[in-house]
Structure 1
Amino acid sequence: MAKPAKTDRKAVIDQMRKQQKSADRRRGAVIVTVCILVAVGIVAAAVVPILVDKWDDRELDNTALADIGEPVSACQDIETKKADGNQNHVPVDTPVDYTTAPPAFGPHWNQAGVAPASFARKFYTPDDRPALEALVHNLEHGYAILWYDETIADDQAAMADIEAISRKFGDDNFRDKFVAAPWLSTDENGKKFPDGQHIAITHWSAGGNGVTDPAKQVGVFQYCSGVSGAAVESFMKKYPYTDSPEPNAM
């Protein structure tokens, strides 16, 4: 049997090399494609929840305040208690023992006449909330504070409702003196809201618009089993910032 010519062997070798290179290119393309798909999957896993949250936020931003969360029926009747602590400023970092959970009045930190929670800041988390003694100063200046407990803090939908409510209030009109803040298990040695209630709205009332007699001041409380934008709207209309010991202070 005749041996193949050298040129034939070279042609076979060249063909084998071409086939190997082609296989290598296909394998490389497959690897690159798989890597791209994995990367896209990783990015999608991180981005999609954010986009969904943003979409949910956009829907809530187009929802009227009164239509966010539960109806007013989720809340108990408004209560009032005789207030004290008007102009009772104590040094910063001095702890104050408040008698109610949460507070609506009482001694508070001296912040040189400026409420410590920024007028432009409407929502606080358990990680960045000011001290109670600081927020009571806001109450003296006419703020309404929505307090949420840890049950609400663990509920993603409820927290989205609270954040949406807070975005309904701007920073260019005193009528928007509103803060949403957590009520922590460490607050007041673990004092809790009434059974079954996870939201509280408080306000420091002067006893009526234009009233200046400290003896007429009351703390206003409304407890709710869930988040209710309708309750917030009704509460703030009934107890506006003008009905407070220092309505014209920031």
Structure 2
Amino acid sequence: MAKSKPNKSEPVAGNSRRDKLASLEAARKSEQRRRTVILLSTCLVLAALLLAYPVYLFAQDARMRSASIAELGLSPAAAACQPVQENPATGNQQHVADGTKVNYDRLPPDSGAHLNHWAPFAKKFYTAEERPVVEELVHNLEHGYTIAWYNPDMPKDQLKDLEWIAKTFNGGDYVKDKFIAAPWTPADGKAFPAGQNIILTHWYANPQDPGNAATQKGVRMGCGGVSGQAIKDFMAKYPSTSAPEPQGG
């Protein structure tokens, strides 16, 4: 009986296995290539972002450095700034010993008893960790400073605006640059009024008769946000020369 010849169109078992393995290997390599492309693309995107962020910060810093105080922060209306309040001042030339806790009539204070020394002239912006005691800063008020007491929990972008505003007073002008931004917390005695994050204070005295305690005033203005224009206007109305001792500090 004659043997039948194999049908050439039927796959041989060995070839079928090789084809299957080759197909799996091709699929594996394709997946590897896809993952490599994704990984490289992700790395390129991350590298671009890492390079772009310092460039953005540099551009932002350059813009802020060149801005005038009135251009920084919100408008007075957008910052919800309240009308200025003037009250009789207290504590003219009344010094207390270090470590003394003064109970001020208004918080944050705009006048009152204070330490015999004041915060450095060159420091314009304080964080909660480095801020001098309140009684030291009140001495700065007596020497003509405007203090922007701020809520340290305020939005970070506005806090940054306030820091930039403080930097505009680093020009070294002894008379015009008497400005300090300092944090105020409930631990200092009382929380800010609802809706306010900034309170500007100044200890006013008549420039023609600065030692007359009867005419001295504690001046304050609260704002819900940071406004360079509001600070500029406040300091124009109550300059450092209108203080009990404008030559000190």
Q: State the TM-score, normalized to the length of structure 2.
A: 0.76
Q: How does 1:1-40 map to 2 (within 5 A)?
A: none
Question: Which residue of structure 1 aligns with residue 103 of structure 2?
Answer: 97
2:82 counterpart letter in structure 1: Q
SS in 1 for 2:202: strand
Question: Which residue of structure 1 aligns with residue 184 of structure 2?
Answer: 183
1:85 counterpart letter in structure 2: G
Q: How does 1:45-60 map to 2 (within 5 A)?
A: 49=53, 52-60=56-64
> Aligned equivalents of 1:101 and 1:49: distance in 2?
40
Cα offsets for 1:163-202 (capped at 9, x unmatched) = 11111112232211000111123111xx122211111000
> Aligned equivalents of 1:249 and 1:126: distance in 2?
25
> Aligned equivalents of 1:219 and 1:238: distance in 2?
13
Cα offsets for 1:224-248 (capped at 9, x unmatched) = 0100000110000000111101000
2:207 counterpart letter in structure 1: N
> Aligned equivalents of 2:72 and 2:218: distance in 1?
26
Question: Which residue of structure 1 aligns with residue 173 of structure 2?
Answer: 172
Question: Which residue of structure 1 aligns with residue 29 of structure 2?
Answer: none
Runs of 4+ deviating beyond 3 Å: 47-54
Q: How does 1:145-156 map to 2 (within 5 A)?
A: 145-152=147-154, 155-156=155-156
Provide the aligned C-alpha RMSD in A: 2.4
SS in 2 for 1:179: strand
In terms of Rg, which structure is larger?
Answer: 2
> Aligned equivalents of 1:150 and 1:160: distance in 2?
11
> Aligned equivalents of 1:48 and 1:92: distance in 2?
49
2:74 counterpart letter in structure 1: E
User: Judging changes above 3 Å, is the alpha-carbon distance between structure 1 residues 54 and 137 closer, same or farther for their aligned structure 2 residues?
Assistant: farther
Q: Note if contact 1:119-1:171 (Cα within 8 Å) is conserved in structure 2.
A: no
Cα offsets for 1:111-146 (capped at 9, x unmatched) = 2xxx2x211111111111111000000000000001
Question: Which residue of structure 2 aligns with residue 88 of structure 1?
Answer: 94
Equivalent residue pairs, number: 206
Cα offsets for 1:84-109 (capped at 9, x unmatched) = 10100001111111221211101001
User: Judging changes above 3 Å, is the alpha-carbon distance between structure 1 residues 128 and 53 closer, same or farther for their aligned structure 2 residues?
Assistant: farther
**Whose helix fraction is larger, Structure 1's or Structure 2's?**
1
Q: Report the CA distance between 1:160 and its aligned residue.
A: 1.5
Question: Which residue of structure 2 aligns with residue 229 of structure 1?
Answer: 228
2:160 counterpart letter in structure 1: A
1:177 counterpart letter in structure 2: K
Q: Report the CA distance between 1:49 and its aligned residue.
A: 4.9
User: Judging changes above 3 Å, is the alpha-carbon distance between structure 1 residues 66 and 141 closer, same or farther for their aligned structure 2 residues?
Assistant: same
> Aligned equivalents of 2:58 and 2:132: distance in 1?
27
Quick one: which of 202, 207, 210 aligns to 1:209?
Answer: 207
> Aligned equivalents of 2:152 and 2:121: distance in 1?
24
Q: Note if contact 1:78-1:221 (Cα within 8 Å) is conserved in structure 2.
A: yes
Q: Note if contact 1:57-1:160 (Cα within 8 Å) is conserved in structure 2.
A: no
Question: Which residue of structure 1 aligns with residue 84 of structure 2?
Answer: 78
Question: Which residue of structure 1 aligns with residue 163 of structure 2?
Answer: 163
Q: Report the CA distance between 1:48 and its aligned residue.
A: 6.0
Question: Which residue of structure 2 aligns with residue 28 of structure 1?
Answer: none
Q: How does 1:119-134 map to 2 (within 5 A)?
A: 119-134=121-136
SS in 2 for 1:197: coil
Question: Which residue of structure 2 aligns with residue 63 of structure 1?
Answer: 67
